[in-house]
Structure 1
Amino acid sequence: MLKSIEKIKGLGVYQNYIKPAGTQEFGIKNLIYGWNYSGKTTLSRLFAQLEAKTANPDLAGCEFSFGTDNDAITEKNFTRSNISVRVFNSDFVKANLHFDGGSFNPILLLGKESEEAQRKIVKLAERIKRSDSVQRKLNGEVETLKQRIAQAKTETAKFIRQRLKVDPYTAAHLGQDVLAVSTLDCQLLMEKELSDVIELALTPDSKRPSTVDELQASPAIERLHKEAVTVLATTPSFSSTLKHLEEHPPIERWVQSGLHLHPTAGACEFCGNELSLDRFEALRTHFSKDLADHQERVDGLLARVRAAEFRLIWPKAEELNPQFRDSYHLAIDGLPPAINAFNQAVQSLAGEVQCKADESRKAMKPSPLAESLEVAIKDAVAAVNAIIKQSNELASNFTSAKADSLRKAKYHYVQQFLDEQDAAGLEVKKDRQVKRCDRLRAYVAKLQPEIERLQAEISQAQQGREKINERLASMMGSEAVQIKVVKDPAGQDRFQLIRKSGAVAKNLSDGERTAIAFSYFLTKLQEIDHAEFKGTIVYIDDPISSLDANHIFHVTAAIRALFFTQQDRNAQWQTTCKQLFVSTHNFEFFNLLREIKPVAKKQGAGLFLIRRTAENASKLEDMPASLARYQSEYQFLFEVIHRFNQAPDKTAHDMLMLLPNAVRRFVELYTYSRLPGPKDAENVDERAEVLFGVERAKRILKIFHYFSHGNTLDRLAGNNELIFDLEHAVRDLIGAISERDKPHMDALIAAIQA
């Protein structure tokens, strides 16, 4: 239950409204009285936002807070509120009713729900139509894409068939290979690799390659070099030496080589001189056994070093399968440099050993050996043998290798086809269009039941036509305007307003439109389940606009019948809904509703007043006691005027904003009560001239005509100097009535002081 409006900020005339201290809480029945432009409709729109549970763009940026039995309802949480609200105001009429006149037959579609349902049906039908059109277009595009994909498959299959000489090979075969390749990693080959596999795949059996022997190589120099380090550093031991031979190694070697030719003393074969026994022993002593053993080691090492020089013959590239020849050439290119480096090291070591042989007595050290001489040859040989081995394996498994090469070549072109298709996006486009068609078909399948449901809603809404007609007849006092159901060109039911004669109702009066709109609103409320309606808050804003006094009684009776009930004539009224709010500018209607007093545990009925207090400020407050006790607006109007006239400070008078309209309305009622006949005066100015005199009447009414109605606030704000004329005009009015109709003035003063 709503208990109060604690604040409203940034909304129309409620720029900074705070609930006045001491203001009563809302009751079950709440009557709000206020003149035009005081803010009643704005307040109803705030209630309508609670009904919609969605933000109204016209209320954007405003702040508000409703006090309730529980937590406050504010602009931040109202969408989550579970209260049920129904609002009748000018916005409701615009949203639910259409009154069209002119030369064509006006159609009245009642009900925001029915109208919205029909709009949805039209939109849904248009969507189905557009969906069908789009589906046809998409199907055409899918067929075109299928043809392009099929053509691409046919051309690719033809290329593979001709390039790889496989027959048969059709688009169907390509499709199978596409499925296989799609599950594998990329099958594209490098240009050289592709050329090799194609060459092998196309090699006839008659040119099957033969096998070749692998290379054998055991280069050895590191061990010899290590031995040379020891041998060259060694010097033989001597017991006695001949200085001349020691100083002349070539002669020493010559003598040593011929010494064995003279095992005993005798004549020299070279010079013919006699070789004495002493000379022979001296020579034998010089050439010791240690020297002989040393020289033997050096000579043996020299022979082995010279024998270590590496020689290798390898197969020609033409002996291998063509696809390995290039790699074979690359591998072979690394072998000669390795052999040359090795042999150069051998030759260098042999020269150094030879020097040792020539000068046995001299300790020597061989040059350092370059690294990896043996490994370089072995690695190069291993690389060559790897190519030879592959070629030999191919030769040994020629048939299966040829088939594998054919498969690789095919898969390469299939992968190429897939990549080209991906780049072109044909398959993706086709699948996307097919999925769009599927979604559209599913979408259309959902729309048709929705259309049927909406049509059923419209049919159910129009079942209330008879109830509306009954209420119209009751509210307007006759069947002058009724509703009948007609078919539109699409065969849908529509409401049409007709006169009692059966003619189409055109040029409806404001009163007739108000009666129709409020009848529809009340009928819609009756569609709510009884239990739900018991928990519903209803706000009605000025339902008697443009209605005469007789119709106001009918509207009051309709409100009483729907919203209030009595167990018997002596019982008090009970409300059928949770809370009822009615705002009006009509004091007579206000009084009629005030007579209905529902019972509540805490508070039954609340009387409130909305009044403008400034240009952008209105106040919702308790109904003043003086106004609450009056049975006519006339007495209240006089009290406003009298209070202003008696106020010491006219500019601070709290009813200043109401004064122009109050005086003008009071003069209308007073002059009409004195001169009711049309022959005496046509309007308030003419009647005032008759009663007050021309000059005084103009002084009284000129200022109030200027400030009254919708221009009151703007003109008061921009013409502060004219406010002082109000005091004189009010004094003239009080003086005129006091002079010409003193008993009436005395009665008015007595009434407001009672």
Structure 2
Amino acid sequence: MSANLPSATGPDIETVRGLQADAVSKHGDVIQLEKASPSAQARDRVAETFELLLREFFAEKYIFDKTSFVLKRGEREMARGPHRTLSDGEKTAIAFCYFIACAHKKVATGSDYKELFLVFDDPVTSMSYDFVFAIAQTLKNLNISDQGEISINPGKIDGTTCWRPELLLLTHSSYFFNISLTNRVVDDNAAFALHTDGKSHNLARLNKYIAPFQEQLIDIYEVANGKDPDHRTANSIRSVLEAIGRFCRPDKSDSLTDFVKHLAGEEGMTLKSVLINSLCHGTYYDETPPPDDLVLACKETLVVVEHYAVGQLELVKKAAKA
């Protein structure tokens, strides 16, 4: 048996070829559009995302002028300049918002948004605790759509057209760690602590709340009593002072700066350590604080602990004698 199959005529073949060529051309246009779109719109997208995040942190207190790319206090220019108007915590929060917004500048094509990996190294330095929680919530709800829209509306997350970006959070703050873990900013199986046995550093998995100054107070006590300070000591001091202020005098501890001012003004406990006073401003006097000043800072921190939480110090002393 045989069948007569229809054959394409000359005009039909030309039509098919034309459609194929048109499809190839349009596919090329799509690729070029994808490549051009993020970079061409980067400034506008950065401005929109920055404005969105600023409103989340400051409501109408600080307004971003997208045309002039200037931050204003309300509707007015900052007459004294941002460096004098903004607190250290506000500067850190604004930098955090701008860092996220600048993700738009890191992509070459729309599909690159899925490749973003954001790293935050202690984003809560010199912040009041309200800001710390706001940062944790922002990181928890942060999402990016397949159109490159950055949002903090968790209702948009579906894992397909809108997803949470990959994150790596590094922190010395037990408070921020606990908030991040208990509020599921990170998965339960994705939290680790770096610790040392004196010879090497190791990562240990953590999946539960850690008590403030568990190890930090021991480190401070040992340095105050003759052990050489190391890279952990300064952060141990910060962690313990913040924890004492937060739990014992929350009314005086919107920030470490406020707590240290309270100690000097109302408790008569003036802390002379250059390191502690520098920590209040989110920085160090030097990249490597002098050992003598670290020892002084540890001794002054123990005075604060003894004043507010002597029981904690007694436990450390007993453990040291055991």
TM (normalized to structure 2)?
0.53
CA distance in 2, matches of 1:548, 1:556: 13
Q: Which amino acid aligns with 1:607?
A: F
Residues 608/467 of structure 1: CA separation in 2 closer, same or farther (3 Å cut): same
Q: 2:132·2:176 contact (CA, 8 Å) conserved in 1?
A: yes
- Superposed, which structure 2 residues align to 1:393-432 within 5 Å? none
- Encode CA deviations 1:486-510: one digit per residue, 9 max, x unaligned: 4xxxxxxx4233332x222452214
User: Which residue in 2 is equivalent to 1:323?
Assistant: none
Structure having greater relative contact order (Cα 8 Å, sep ≥ 6) = 1
- 1:539 alignment counterpart: 119
1:622 aligns with 2:209: no
- 1:583 paired residue number: 170
Matched ranges for 1:462-611 at <5 A:
462-476=44-58, 478-486=59-67, 494-500=68-74, 502-506=75-79, 507-508=81-82, 509=86, 510-525=88-103, 531-562=111-142, 576-577=164-165, 579-595=166-182, 596=184, 604-609=189-194
Equivalent residues of 2:121, 2:169 under 8 A apart: yes
Call closer, same or farther: CA 1:742–1:480 in 2, change over 3 Å: closer
Shift of 1:515: 3.4
Give 1:638's match in structure 2, choosing from 212, 217, 231. Answer: 217
- Encode CA deviations 1:274-332: one digit per residue, 9 max, x unaligned: xxxxxxxxxxxxxxxxxxxxxxxxxxxxxxxxxxxxxxxxxxxxxxxxxxxxxxxxxxx
Cα deviation for residue 555 of structure 1 reads 1.7
SS at match of 1:633: coil
Q: Is the 8 A contact 2:181 2:191 kept in 1?
A: no
Between the aligned partners of 2:203 and 2:50, the Cα distance in structure 1 is: 36
SS in 2 for 1:622: strand
| Change in CA separation of 1:458 and 1:610 when aligned onto 2, cut-off 3 Å | farther
Quote how far apart the aligned CAs of 1:472 are. Answer: 1.2
Q: Report if the CA contact (8 A) 2:143-2:163 is conserved.
A: yes
Report the CA distance between 1:473 and its aligned residue.
0.4
* 1:658 maps to which of 232, 235, 255: 232
Partner SS, residue 503 of structure 1 = coil
Confirm or deny: 8 A CA contact 1:608 1:620 kept in the other structure.
Answer: no
Task: Mark the CA change 1:676 to 1:463 in structure 2 (over 3 Å): closer, same or farther.
Answer: closer
> Aligned partners of 2:274 and 2:51: how far apart in 1?
46
Unmatched tracts of structure 2, length 5 or more: 1-35, 145-152, 157-161, 253-258
- Residues 21-100 of structure 1 correspond to what in structure 2 (within 5 A)? none
* Mapped partners of 1:516, 1:689: distance in 2: 34
Identity of aligned residues (%): 16
Structure 1: state its 5+ residue gaps: 1-453, 487-493, 569-573, 614-618, 691-696
Aligned-pair CA distance for 1:688: 6.3
CA pair 682-633 structure 1, distance change in 2 beyond 3 A: same
CA distance in 1, matches of 2:179, 2:234: 26
CA RMSD of aligned residues (A): 5.4
**1:468 to 1:750, Cα distance in 2 relative to 1, 3 A:** farther
SS of structure 1 residue aligned to 2:55? helix
Q: CA deviation at 1:526?
A: 6.0
Q: Indicate the residue corresponding to 2:290 in structure 1.
A: 715
Q: Is the 8 A contact 2:118 2:167 kept in 1?
A: yes
Distance 1:686 1:610, change over 3 A: farther
What is the TM-score of this pair, normalised by structure 1? 0.26
Go from structure 1 to structure 2 and tell me whether the alpha carbon gap of 1:584 and 1:644 turns closer, same or farther (over 3 Å shift): same
Distance in 2 of aligned mates of 1:607 and 1:644: 25
Deviation at 1:521, TM superposition (A): 3.2
CA distance in 1, matches of 2:277, 2:53: 41
Secondary structure of the 2:72 match is: strand
Mapped to 2, the partners of 1:684 and 1:465 lie a distance apart of 41
Aligned-residue offset at 1:474: 0.9
- Encode CA deviations 1:580-630: one digit per residue, 9 max, x unaligned: 21223433223222332766xxx951424389x9xxxxx8642587xx755
On the 8 A contact 2:136/2:180 being kept in 1, the answer is: yes
Check the 8 A contact 2:141/2:154 in 1, yes or no: no
Shift of 1:522: 2.4
Deviation digits for residues 135-159 of structure 1 (CA, Å, limit 9, x no counterpart): xxxxxxxxxxxxxxxxxxxxxxxxx
Change in Cα spacing, 1:749 to 1:713, as seen in structure 2 (3 Å) is same
Instruction: Specify which of 737, 740, 748 is matched with residue 306 of structure 2.
Output: 737
Deviation (angstroms), 1:542? 3.3
**Partners of 1:517 and 1:706 in 2: how far apart?**
22
Shift of 1:479: 1.9
SS for the counterpart of 2:218 is helix
Q: Does residue 43 of structure 2 align to residue 461 of structure 1?
A: yes
Contact persistence 2:122–2:169 (CA under 8 A): yes
Cα distance in 1 between the residues matched to 2:173 and 2:54: 21
